[in-house]
Each structure stands twice: as C-alpha cells, then as structure tokens.
C-alpha cells in the first residue's frame, strides 16, 4: 500500500548472540569468534540508503563498543540508533538491578560511539512480558521514550500471547509515559500470526508477507518490520551439532533474504520508529480534539 508508512528496524548484533546459541557461547568467547556484523550491516545500510529509508538500528552495547565506526557510519547516514541491551541477555532472566546495570552500560557505549543517546529500547529475544512489570518502569527511569520488546504470540522461546497487538501508551507509576511498539502480528484462525520480519519473513513466500502487510495497512496499522544483519549473509558461519530446528532457524533462506528485502522496500513505504511515533502522536492528538 504505497504511501502508508511502516516501521523498519534492525537488531544490530553478531550471529553468535542469538538465543538458540546462548548456552554455547558466553560473552568471554565473543572476541574469538568470526565476526560478520560489519560486512552484513554495511550491505544492509547500502540497500536502505539506496531506497531512501531511514531505519531504527537497535544496537547491542557490546557492538557499539567493539565497532564504533560502524555505528557512526549508520548514524551519519540519517538512521536512528536504539538500544538492544549490552550482552543480549533476556530481561525476564535478570533481576531489576542487573537489568539497570546492563542497560546503563549499553547506553554509555552507544553515546560514546555516536555522541547521541538512544531513546528507543528493544529487549533481546522479545523478553519483556507481564512476568516483569518493573521493566517498563525502569526503562522510563533511564530516559527511554519508547520500547519495542513485546511480541504478542505464543512461541517456545518468547511471547506474550495476550499482549496488545498495536502501539499503546504505558502510564508509568512515577509519572510520565512510555510508548510500546509491539512486533507485528495478524489475527488469523483465532490466534495472532507473526508476520513482521526475521525468520517469519525469511521462511514465508514473499507473496504471503506482502499480502498480510497490505491488509494491515488497509486496516490503518503499520507493519513493524525487523531484520538482523546475519540474516542477509549468503554464507553464514556454520556450526556442527545443531539440531534440525536450530539449523533451520539460523541458516534457512539467508541466501535469498536480501532480494526479498529489496522487493519489500519497493512495495511499501518505511520510516524509523521515532519518526513514525511523532506522526502517530500528532494524529492521535488531532483525533482526540
């Protein structure tokens, strides 16, 4: 649906931090592993710039610290930089103090890299849910204006099936608000179907993703699309002793992902999260008047 603005986001992280490998590699191992994030991010950045799309890149603090020049190049090309934690640890497995320390460390690394603080947050593995009600409060305390960590689906690794499906405002106990921008789902067969990026986009035929996003736009809702740099790597590092499911999740369709992304960018209009929210709030104010 040409002209209707959707949201394009990137989880800026290395291939080896994904949840299914969290028990295999610790942060102490990361520097010794093959890095692919710079080359893949630059390819993705080139594609976004070619299509004149400003995206939100939720960066790991660890990546900001290791590759500040990469973050600076992304930022200087007009993209928004958000926070994706420092060590890619699930929020629902941390206590409040550890979550604060991890997030503050990530903020500081991003500020050091680009000279600008992030105002958007996305939790690793979509790990904010009703089990940790203090998470929104803490993000507000740390100065974030919006969060994009809720995925209202049932999944073996994450999800909040009863969570709101569209952008909503969280009223914080200590005053102020935090906007939540959930991952995209489409209501089908009595349940929420994930359609907004990552493996769901990689593994689905393009016509299906295009049709669902078009339907969402016709209903007045944006697609919150997300991708990881490693997902466009045609020759990603392969590991032995992975289950069939792990191999499918990690390697399937990465060779065609870039071509599918280009089609998506041609068929739909995208912007970054902060710019979309500014327009959303203006329309909301006008409607409420």
pTM: 0.93
Assess whether pLDDT exceeds 80 at residue 249: no
Q: At what angle do helices 254-267 and 206-218 cross, to 10 degrees?
A: 30
Per-residue pLDDT tens over the stretch 96-115: 999 999 999 999 999 999 99
The CATH number of the structural domain formed by 5-288 is 3.20.20.370
Q: What is residue 287's predicted lDDT score, i.e. its pLDDT?
A: 37
- Is residue 208 a contact partner of residue 202, using CB atoms and an 8 Å limit? no
SS3 160: coil
Helix, strand and coil content of the chain, in percent to the nearest 5, comes to 45, 15, 40
Query: Residue 196: its pLDDT value, please?
Result: 83
Q: Quote the mean pLDDT of the chain.
A: 90
For 249-269, the three-class secondary structure string (H helix, E strand, C coil) is HHHCCHHHHHHHHHHHHHHCE
The more confident residue out of 117 and 250 is 117
* Residue 196: closest CA among 225, 231, 166, 219: 225
Tell me the pLDDT tens digit for each residue of 35-89.
999 999 999 999 999 999 999 999 999 999 999 999 999 999 999 999 999 999 9
Instruction: Please answer whether residues 117 and 174 qualify as being in contact, where contact means their C-beta atoms are separated by less than 8 angstroms.
Output: no
Tens-place pLDDT, residues 17-40: 988 887 788 899 999 999 999 999
Distance of alpha carbon 25 from alpha carbon 163, whole angstroms = 31
Q: At what angle do helices 96-114 and 134-141 cross, to 10 degrees?
A: 40
pLDDT of residue 191: 86
Domain boundaries of the chain, sorted by first residue: 5-288
């Amino acid at each position: 649906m040409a002209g209707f603005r959707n949201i394009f986001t990137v989880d800026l992280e290395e291939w080896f931090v994904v949840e299914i490998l969290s028990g295999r590699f610790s942060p102490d191992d990361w520097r010794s592993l093959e890095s692919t994030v710079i080359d893949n991010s630059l390819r993705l950045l080139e594609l976004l710039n070619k299509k004149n799309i400003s995206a939100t890149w939720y960066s790991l603090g660890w990546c900001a610290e290791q590759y500040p020049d990469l973050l600076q190049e992304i930022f200087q090309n007009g993209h928004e930089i958000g926070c994706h934690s420092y060590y890619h640890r699930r929020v629902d497995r941390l206590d409040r103090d550890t979550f604060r320390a991890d997030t503050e460390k990530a903020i500081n690394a991003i500020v050091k890299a680009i000279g600008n603080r992030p105002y958007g947050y996305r939790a690793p593995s979509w790990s904010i849910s009703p089990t940790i009600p203090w998470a929104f409060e803490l993000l507000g305390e740390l100065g974030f204006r919006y969060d994009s960590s809720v995925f209202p689906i049932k999944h073996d690794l994450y999800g909040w099936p009863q969570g709101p499906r569209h952008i909503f405002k969280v009223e914080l106990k200590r005053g102020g608000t935090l906007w939540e921008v959930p991952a995209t789902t489409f209501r089908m067969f009595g349940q929420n179907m994930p359609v907004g990026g990552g493996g769901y986009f990689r593994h689905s035929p393009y016509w299906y993703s295009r049709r669902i996003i078009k339907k969402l736009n016709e209903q007045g809702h944006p697609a919150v699309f997300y991708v990881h740099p490693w997902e466009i790597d045609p020759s990603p590092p392969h590991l032995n002793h992975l289950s069939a499911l792990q191999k499918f999740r990690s390697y399937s369709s990465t060779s065609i992902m870039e071509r599918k992304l280009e089609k998506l960018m041609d068929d739909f209009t995208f912007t970054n999260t902060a710019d979309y929210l500014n327009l959303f709030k203006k329309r909301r104010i006008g409607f409420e008047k």
